[in-house]
Amino acid sequence: MKREDILDAVEKATSVAKDKTVVLVGDFCLDVYYHINSADLEPSLETGLMVRRVNKLKDSLGGAGNVFANLCALGFGNVVPVGVIGKDMFGFEMQRLMQEWLPSSKPLYVQPNDWTTPAYMKPILDGKEQERIDTGLGNTITEETVDILLSEIGKALKSADVVLINQQLEGSIYTDRFIEGINKFIIENPQIPFIVDARTIQHRFHGVWHKLNTHELAGECGIELDPMKSELPIDELKALMERYYKQVGDKMIVSRGEYGATAYDGNLFATAEGIAFMCELDTVGAGDSFFSGFALAMAADLTLEEALNIGNGVSGVTVQKLHQTGTATPEELKTLLEKCDYTYNADAKPYMVTEPFNAEIVTDWSLIEARPAIEYAVFDHDGTISVLREGWEEVMEACMIDAITGGKEVDLKILEDIRVTCRKLITKSTGIQTINQMVLLCDIIKDYGIVPDKEIKTIQEYKAIYNAALMDHIHHRLQLVEEGLLDPKEATVAGSIAFLKALAENGVKVYLASGTDTDDVRHEAELLGYAEFFTGGIFGSVGDVNNDPKRQVLSQIIEKEAVDTRKLAIFGDGPVEMRVAHDNGALAFGVLSNEVRRYGRNESKHARLLHAGADILVPDFLEYRKIVPFLLNKQS
């Protein structure tokens, strides 16, 4: 779906939410977070054991409670919760939180005996979740409670627009008689969509929408997937979905994380692309959020594709909220979907060709061939043309680690965790402005909590520290070029200078767009002898977090020059330029450059360029004599 169509669907759904009623049956739980700093650990005078001082205590609704909070946040006017809590402090706290969300909501049933409210107590040490303590795992529901719950469901169905069934725990409320009662309601109310998200009893509900993830689907089909393998190729996934449909005869939705979601109604498949993020994510509760967004769309009678995209959007908002089972408001949902990056080509099967030049083809070749001759070209700089800054990732990683730890010695396990976090950030954010990378860095510094808030520097200060370290790193290379001891060709991706020259000589208007500061980019382009080929101009970062140079250049081309984007090609080794091309209909030319050798493929760049929307992947520009005629539609 196009972005504007998804936003229209969100507007339709959220505008009618206040008039809709959702019945939510499930395991209502409480999440309790204890934030602890390792620096505050000290031995107890009484026992000698280490005391962990909690400097921040926070609780939130979990399980079906999290679904309840998400439904309320999305604007449902009436949410009818059906579940059980115990006569204990966690139960009272859960009721209080639910009343805060929706004062008109009917309280959960309190079973006075043999029931402890399920609660997950989660210590957060130095920003990272530790082993948790759970309560409420050995409950026994009485027959009287089952009767009361079924009665509540029956009454609520008279005005229900959608029914959600959530199962988190073994046993709990889901006795044989309770499940039979729900199945009877499903048969008697075919006009109401019932959606089930159950961990262990999914197959026991009939005539419903089954909400699953890939591993759950495989498990329902008797297949155990590798726990480290989070995804299946789309053809294997669809085969499993068809197999499950034959088993149960019901429709299903399968959430696929970063690769989106797929649904099957027995006849047709529907899909939604996943959302790509650069920040650290907390996926706890993401399934509940998707569940809630999908339910909103179903209650509003939207299409299946629209429902998948709204579900993705809601979970996309909440996974960015760390150490909490977060919620998404309509405003947050719209803001995300207006600006988010999508994961493209999740199910593409690229193939290698040797003609008209050596490349890996992602998009249908006939569509690429059918494009008109290009008249405009936008190039990323570092890693696409220049390799002067080769090794910048290691420099940035060292600076980030120092910033997060404040230069202090930390536990080796925590240090390694910080290192992994920094590498992930750098990999995901390659190609964006340095200043924006520093914004992401500051979020991580605050999350780890090692550096006191008052000592955290500004994004400008962190950028200055990194730039100084980087300039130290490349100073020798710059000096060699300036003194004529290093040929500019030896400091650029193979064939890139000749490629730029050939495009410019053939009348293509060429632009340079970099996340590096403008003055530095211009100086290096002049030093290496190709500044003159950028007839459209040289653009770099100006320190504005809201002003991405690559998007700015594209906007200038489209708006000021009224260019047909089919006549535009964008070249780069980072995901940002690929997404800019894909989102605007330009040809996305990914460069898998090996910045050490200057030629040949760097496989570490493959996945990020592919999933950012690349149409063609090449290792370098050594075959520029073949690539230029192809782009100009002059191939023989």
pLDDT digits (tens, 9 = 90+) for 305-358: 999 999 999 999 998 887 666 899 999 999 999 989 899 999 999 999 999 999
pLDDT digits (tens, 9 = 90+) for 205-219: 999 999 999 999 999
Q: Which residues pair with 511 in a beta bridge?
A: 378, 537
623 part of a folded domain: yes
Q: Which of 243, 299, 206, 271 is nearest to 15 (CA)?
A: 299
Q: Are both 373 and 412 inside the same structural domain? A: no
Task: Check pLDDT > 90 for residue 282.
Answer: no
534 part of a folded domain: yes
602 part of a folded domain: yes
Give the end of a domain, one of 462, 482, 502. 482
**CA-CA distances (angstroms) from residue 358 to 444, 561, 601, 616, 635?**
41, 32, 12, 10, 14
Strands 109-110 and 84-85: parallel
132 part of a folded domain: no
Q: Which residues pair with 261 in a beta bridge?
A: 255, 272
Single-letter residue type at 456? I
Phi, psi of 266 (to 5 degrees): 100, -20
Q: Are both 469 and 455 inside the same structural domain? A: yes
Angle at 146 between CA 141 and CA 151, to 5 degrees: 155
For residues 417 and 420, give the distance between their C-alpha atoms in angstroms, rounded to a whole number. 5
- Give the pLDDT score at 321: 83
**CA-CA distances (angstroms) from residue 572 to 16, 140, 382, 432?**
43, 60, 9, 12
Higher per-residue pLDDT: 28 or 563: 28
Alpha helices (runs of H) in 406-488, residue ranges in sequence order: 412-429, 434-448, 459-482
pLDDT-derived band at 255 (thresholds 50, 70, 90) equals: very high
487 part of a folded domain: no
Q: Are both 532 and 426 inside the same structural domain? A: no
Contacts 24+ apart (CB under 8 A), 204-208: 204/179, 205/165, 205/179, 206/248, 206/249, 206/250, 207/183, 207/250, 208/165, 208/250, 208/251
Q: In degrees to the nearest 10, what's the CA dihedral of 262, 266, 267, 271?
A: -10
- Give the pLDDT score at 157: 97
pLDDT-derived band at 441 (thresholds 50, 70, 90) equals: very high
Give the residue carrying structure tokens 């409320």.
Answer: 173
Q: In degrees to the nearest 10, what's the CA dihedral of 516, 473, 278, 408?
A: -130
Alpha helices (runs of H) in 201-301, residue ranges in sequence order: 214-220, 234-248, 286-299
Give the residue carrying structure tokens 């008689």.
Answer: 177
553 part of a folded domain: yes
Mean pLDDT value across residues 588-592: 97
Give the end of a domain, one of 424, 456, 482. 482
pLDDT digits (tens, 9 = 90+) for 497-530: 999 999 999 999 999 998 888 899 999 999 999 9
Q: Are both 154 and 201 inside the same structural domain? A: yes
Give the residue carrying structure tokens 């780890």.
Answer: 448
Higher per-residue pLDDT: 129 or 143: 143
- Give the pLDDT score at 635: 62
Report the CATH number that the domain containing residue 558 is assigned in CATH.
3.40.50.1000
- Give the pLDDT score at 230: 62
Contact 343, 476 (CB under 8 A): no
Mean pLDDT value across residues 456-476: 94
Q: Are both 383 and 400 inside the same structural domain? A: no
Mean pLDDT value across residues 586-594: 97
For residues 244 and 586, give the distance between their C-alpha atoms in angstroms, rounded to a whole number. 40
Q: Are both 446 and 329 inside the same structural domain? A: no
- Sorted by sequence, the CB contacts under 8 Å of residue 79 that are 6+ apart come out as 21, 22, 24, 68, 71, 72, 102, 105
For residues 393 and 470, give the distance between their C-alpha atoms in angstroms, rounded to a whole number. 10
Give the end of a domain, one of 482, 511, 537. 482
Q: Are both 225 and 374 inside the same structural domain? A: no
Host H or E run for residue 171 = none
Express as a percent the part of the chain with pLDDT over 70: 99
pLDDT digits (tens, 9 = 90+) for 165-188: 999 998 799 999 999 999 999 999
Contact 570, 553 (CB under 8 A): no
Rg of the Cα trace of the chain?
Answer: 28
- Give the pLDDT score at 560: 78
Q: Are both 206 and 176 inside the same structural domain? A: yes
Buried b (16+ CB within 10 A) or exposed e, 18-28: eebbbbbbbbb
465 part of a folded domain: yes
Domain that holds residue 417: 392-482
Q: Are both 575 and 472 inside the same structural domain? A: no
Strands 50-51 and 42-43: antiparallel
367 part of a folded domain: yes
Mean pLDDT value across residues 400-411: 92
Q: Which of 96, 74, 58 is nearest to 24 (CA)?
A: 74
Express as a percent the part of the chain with pLDDT over 90: 73
Q: Are both 73 and 187 inside the same structural domain? A: yes
The count of domains in the chain is 3
**CA-CA distances (angstroms) from residue 75 to 79, 123, 181, 295?**
10, 31, 29, 12
Three-state secondary structure readout of 341-394: EEECCCCCCCEEECCCCCEEECCCHHHHHCCCCCCEEEECCECCCECCCCCHHH
- What mean pLDDT, rounded, does the chain reach? 92
Cβ burial, residue 543 (10 Å; 0-12/13-18/19+): middle
Q: Are both 365 and 441 inside the same structural domain? A: no
DSSP 619: S
Question: What is this structure's pTM?
Answer: 0.83
**Chain-centroid distance, C-alpha 203:** 29
pLDDT digits (tens, 9 = 90+) for 189-208: 999 999 999 999 999 999 99
- Give the pLDDT score at 49: 85
Mean pLDDT value across residues 577-581: 92
pLDDT-derived band at 45 (thresholds 50, 70, 90) equals: confident
Report the CATH number that the domain containing residue 21 is assigned in CATH.
3.40.1190.20
Q: Are both 429 and 382 inside the same structural domain? A: no
Higher per-residue pLDDT: 307 or 284: 307
- Give the pLDDT score at 323: 66
